[in-house]
Each structure stands twice: as C-alpha cells, then as structure tokens.
Structure 1
Amino acid sequence: MLFTPGPTAVAPAVREAMAEPQPNPDVDPAFAERYVDLCEKLAQVYDTDHDVVVPGGEGILGLETAIDSLVAPGDRVLCVSNGLYGDGFADFVESYDGDPELVDAPFDEGYDLEAIEAALDGADAAGEPFAIATMVHCETPTGAINDLEPVLDLLDDHDVVSVVDAVSSLGGTPVPTDRIDVCLGASQKCFSAPPGLTTAAISDRAWERMESREPTSLYTNFLPWRDVSDGFPYTHLGANVAALDTAVDLVLDEGVEAVYTRHEAAAERCRERGAELGLELYPDAERASPTVTAFSLPGDAARVQRRVAADEDVVLATGLGEMADDILRIGHMGYNADVQKVDRAMDAVEAVLS
C-alpha cells in the first residue's frame, strides 16, 4: 500500500486510461482536442480564469520553468521560505543569474510578514524593487500549509509578480489562484496520476513579462505553450495526458468541494490516530496541511518507515534533508484521501510502534 505524499497511489480508472492506445500527439487532432479539454477542466479545479498549460515533465520542471521564463539576469527576486522547496526557488534564481533575496522563517513557523514587508519597502526605497516573488503553499517535507493571502496583499501593494508552488495542495485544498501570477501544480500529487506532467495557471501579467524576455530555453519555457493551435513545442506525453485527463474527470465528477471535504476528513482521522499513539504533530494543528501529515519522531523516523514497509507492506515517507530521520509523513492526498485507507496506514504504524 503506497501512502506517500507523492507520487501517490493511482486509481484503477487512471491506470486503465494510460494503458489504452493513444493518438499520436504530433499529428492526430484527437490528441490536441484532449489536451485543450484537459486544460479547460484543470481551470475548474484551479478555480481560475487564467490560462492553464500542461507541459511534459515532472513537477519540478514547473518550478524551474517559472524562473527561467520570468527572471532575466540581474532581476531581483524575493524568495519567501519556511522549507526546503522555498529555499530551492532561490537556488533556481541563482542558476539563471537572477539576484535572490531569501526571507526565511523556521520550518515549524509561518511566513515572517514583518520581514517580508521590510524587504519590499527597503527594495523600493533603494530604487531596486523586486520583479518577482516566490513562495510555497504546502511544504511537503514538513506537512505545513502556508497562508498566502497576507503575502499576496503585500506583493500587490508593491506590484510584484508572484510565483507559487502549489504542487502538493492543488486539488486537495483551496488555492487562491486568481491572485497568483504563476500557480504551479503536478500530476502525481492530489490528482493521483502518474508523475510526468506539470500544470501551470498563468496570468496575463506573467505572460506579458515572459514575452518581454529573450528566451534562453525551449524546454524550461512556458511561452511555447501559450498557443498550441499550430502544434506542441515537442512531442507530448500522450499516455500521461490521458491519465491526468481521467484523474481530473474523477475530481470534477465528485465535485471539487466534496474532494476538499474528503481531504479534511482524512487528515483529521490521521491526526486523531496519531494522538492516540502519542505522536507529536509537526509543525502544529493550525498549520498542518489537509494533504499530508507529518509526525515528529526525532532520530527514529527512518527505522519506523523501514519497519512499516517490511512488516506491514505499507510505504510511508520520512522528512527530507536535515530532517530525514526526524519526521514520518503520511500522504493522505488524492486517491488516498480516504478515512478507511488512513486507518489501514495508521494500523501499520501502530503495529510497529507497539
């Protein structure tokens, strides 16, 4: 039983769709029709009027592509962070010769709004304003969800283009997409499709900025995806598109709000079971994501993960980086956002701990 926070378990209907004979994405109009239809359905999940595009490539492609598409050499970028993926945006900015300023907070705390506002005001006062700001909605390695609205308010006040990694929240909990210039998702998290596709909702302001830049890449560039009426920039992943199309249909058939409610119920059950076992929630109940739960097991997470897999045939995840052996993560997202499945996973944890 796969119960990781991505890639997630894939529903039978999605696997079947991927196994079907596929139209040639380069020459068959049926594929282009499916792609356009998928983008329109994704816009319903995003709850946005922005353009939605689906390039071929795992979710990290979206993070790097957003930076390559928007950041010119020397551009100042405010990287708001309280986790590994927030920090990673600054690395991408550096690799494309931008000038990142990291405003970080401890992993178990929310964004530092005072520090963010001070950075924005200071940049304006110095005459070197930020062009772009990056942040993460759900920091998957720690199971923390961030309140984006106060930061977006500050960015609006300073006319800064926003980029948000919503890879592990999109489709599992509401995301304020229409307030975000580039909102990034992926197939392998709450959609419970196989890894291989990036999704992005892109505002007119972001498109305008991309068009004003000299492209540095074909692959890490959103612009060729804005209009695919004359064909795709490279051969698309036909089977992956079919799988994601079916996965999104499942979400829409259930109803987006019902899907959110199902994620909340699964998260609540997971945390109830954890409390019964004496497990401490990381970071805390107020900031815990509806899509993934992190329990604090300092120095013991990797051992418990291995035992749960070997003895109970349930695959969980640990933390990442310096917290790899301190956090055990339960990925109740997408197809696995189900109270009965959560009970099965937590039964396995209980058996090992006892």
Structure 2
Amino acid sequence: MRFTPGPTAVPESVREAMAEVQPNPDVEASFRERYDALRGKLARVYGASHDGIDEASHDVVIPGGEGILGLEAAIASLVAPGDRVLCVSNGIYGDGFADFVESYGGDATVVSAPYDEGLDRSAVADALESAAAEDDPFEVATLVHCETPTGTLNDIGPVLDLLDAHDVVTVVDAVSSLGGTPVPTDRIDVCLGASQKCFSAPPGLTTAAISDRAWERMEERDPSSLYTNFLPWRDVSEGFPYTHLNANVAALDVAVDRLLEEGLESVHDRHERAAERCRERVRELGLECYPDPDRCSPTVTAVHLPGEARTVQRRVREEHDVVLATGLGEMADDVLRFGHMGYNADVETVDRVMDAVADVLR
C-alpha cells in the first residue's frame, strides 16, 4: 500500500482509462473534445470555494509535464530579467520559487518564516510598503498553499489581501491542496495543481487556472522557452504546442469525474475526517505533528521523529508493505509523512497504516 503525499494510489477505473487505446492528440477531434471537457470540469474543482471560476476572468490549461513544470512555467511566463518578485515562504517549495525567479533573471526578495510557523504577514506588509516608498514595487509574488514536506496548510488569504492592495500579480502553488480542500482561486492570478496529488491520477500533467491579468502580462513577456511557457496553451484551437499526453489526459478525466460524482463538499469533508483520524492516532502513539496541528493540511500529516524517520519508514515498508515518505532536505530523517489525500483520504485506510506504524514503534 502506498500512503505517500504524492504520487498517490491510483484507483482501478483511472488505470483502466489510461490503458485504453487513445486518439491521436495531434489529428483526432475526439482528443480535443475530451481536453476541452476536462478543462471545464477542472474549473469546477478550482472554484469549489466560490461556486466555480468565472470563465470570463480565468482559463484552465493542462500542459503535459509533472507539477514542478507549472511552478517553473509560471515564473518563465510572467518574469522578465530585472522584474522584482516577492517570494513569501515558510518551506522548501516557497524557497524554491526564488531559485526559479533568479534562473530567469528576475530579482527575488524572499520573506521567510520558520518552517514550523505560518506565513509572516507583517514582514510581507513591510516589504510591500518599503518597495512602494522607494518607487520600485514588486510586480509578481509567489506563495505556497500546502507545503507538502512539512504538511503545512498556509492561511494565504491575509497575504493575498496585501498583495491585491499593491496590485501584485500572484502565483500560488496549490499542487498538494487542490482537490482535497478549498482553494481561493478567484483571488489568485496563476493557481497551480498537478495530476498526481489529490486527483489520484498518475504523474504527468500540470493544471493551471490563469487570470486575464496574468495572460496580459504574459503577452508582454518574451519567454525563452516553449516548454516552460503557458502562453501557447491559451488558444489551442489550431493545435497544441507539442504532442499531448493522451493517456494521462484520459486518466485525469476519469479521476476528476470521480471527484465531481462524489461531490466536492463531500470530498473535502472526507479529507478532513481522514486527517483528524490520522492525528488522533498520532497522539495515541505519543508522537507530535510537525508543525502545530492547527496548521496541518487536510491532505498530509507530518510527524516529528528526530533521527528515526528513515528507520521507521524502512521497517513499515518491509514488515507491513506500507510505503510512507520522510521529510526533504535537512528534515529527511526527522519527519515521517502520511499522505491521506485523494483515493487514500479514507479513515479505514488511515487505521491500517497507523496500525502498521504502531507495531513498528512497539
């Protein structure tokens, strides 16, 4: 059993869709029809917290490429050399946005908070005010909704308020939250998702909901890449920028259908119940969440196991055939992560996994 925070377990119906004979995405109309229909379904998922995305203000595009493609493409499409970008971070992926900015010649300013704390709204306000006073404002800002390595769900609303007041174009990594908990997409210019997380489809597709303001800015840029560039996806009536991943699109289509058939409110409630059960079992084992449980995501729980995470991960896999993930970077041996997202957001599945962990810890 795989219980990792992505790639998640893939349901049988999704696997079967991927194994079917697929239309040629370059020449057959049936593929275009499926792609367009999937865009509409994803708009409903993106708009779950506010009755759908207004199609006049956001477009959903689905490029071929794993979720990191979306993070890089957002920067490549929006940031020209010398552009000032504010990277609001309390984790590895928040910090990583600054690396993308610098690789495309942008000027990144990182407002950091400790990985076990929330975003620093006060420091963001100070940075915005200082830039405005110097008449050198930030043009783009990046945030992460769910920092998967620490299981943190960030309260991005207050930061979005500040950025909106300063007319800053916003990019949000919602890869590990979209489809598992509401995302305020209507307040975000580029909201990024991916197939292999809460959708429980195979890795291979990025999703992005892009506002008119972001498209206009992209039109003004001169991206140095075709692949890491959202602009060619705005109008694919004459063909896709490159041969699309037809089997992956078929799989994601069925995966999204599963969510919509269940009902997005029910899906979100299911994730909350699974997360609550996981953390209840964590407490019973005498362990602590990382970070504070009040900031934990409904899609992933990180547990503090200093110096023991890799050993527990190995033994749970060898003795119980359950695959878990550890932390990343410096936390690789200090954090054990449980991915109760997508198909695995299920209380019975959580109990089976936690029984295995309890046996190993005994």
Shorter-normalised TM-score: what interval? over 0.9
Describe how 1:133-282 pairs up with structure 2 within 5 A. 133-282=141-290
The match for 2:50 is none
How far apart, CA to CA, are the structure 2 residues paired with 1:231 and 1:36? 12
The match for 2:66 is 58
2:23 is paired with a residue whose SS is coil
How far apart, CA to CA, are the structure 2 residues paired with 1:126 and 1:14? 53
How far apart, CA to CA, are the structure 2 residues paired with 1:346 and 1:215? 47
The match for 2:36 is 36
- Structure 1: where are the runs of 5+ without partners? none
Amino acid of the residue matched to residue 25 of structure 1?
P
The match for 2:11 is 11
Instruction: State whether structure 2 residue 32 is matched by structure 1 residue 24.
Output: no
1:289 is paired with a residue whose SS is coil
Measured after TM superposition, the shift of residue 154 of structure 1 is 0.2
Measured after TM superposition, the shift of residue 216 of structure 1 is 1.3
Amino acid of the residue matched to residue 180 of structure 1?
I
Measured after TM superposition, the shift of residue 215 of structure 1 is 2.4
Identity rate, percent: 76
> Residue by residue, what CA displacement relative to the aligned partner does 1:220-278 show, whole Å, maximum 9, x if unpaired?
00000001111100000000000000000000000000000000000000001111011
The match for 1:68 is 76
Structure-1-length-normalised TM-score? 1.00
How far apart, CA to CA, are the structure 1 residues paired with 2:261 and 2:189? 28
How far apart, CA to CA, are the structure 1 residues paired with 2:92 and 2:178? 18
Instruction: Give 4+ residue runs of structure 1 displaced > 2 Å after superposition.
Output: none
Instruction: State whether structure 2 residue 109 is matched by structure 1 residue 101.
Output: yes
The match for 1:128 is 136
Amino acid of the residue matched to residue 147 of structure 2?
E
1:32 is paired with a residue whose SS is helix
- Structure 2: where are the runs of 5+ without partners? 48-52
The match for 2:94 is 86
1:141 is paired with a residue whose SS is coil
How far apart, CA to CA, are the structure 2 residues paired with 1:345 and 1:39? 34
How far apart, CA to CA, are the structure 2 residues paired with 1:255 and 1:16? 22
Measured after TM superposition, the shift of residue 179 of structure 1 is 0.1
Measured after TM superposition, the shift of residue 325 of structure 1 is 0.5
1:351 is paired with a residue whose SS is helix
How far apart, CA to CA, are the structure 1 residues paired with 2:330 and 2:153? 20
Equivalent pairs, count: 354
Amino acid of the residue matched to residue 246 of structure 2?
G
Amino acid of the residue matched to residue 20 of structure 2?
E
The match for 1:304 is 312
Which one is further off, 162-171 or 275-284?
275-284
Measured after TM superposition, the shift of residue 9 of structure 1 is 0.2
Measured after TM superposition, the shift of residue 5 of structure 1 is 0.1
Measured after TM superposition, the shift of residue 146 of structure 1 is 0.2
Measured after TM superposition, the shift of residue 214 of structure 1 is 1.3
Structure-2-length-normalised TM-score? 0.97
How far apart, CA to CA, are the structure 2 residues paired with 1:254 and 1:292? 21
The match for 1:2 is 2
Amino acid of the residue matched to residue 13 of structure 1?
S
2:87 is paired with a residue whose SS is strand
2:111 is paired with a residue whose SS is strand
Amino acid of the residue matched to residue 8 of structure 2?
T
Amino acid of the residue matched to residue 16 of structure 1?
E
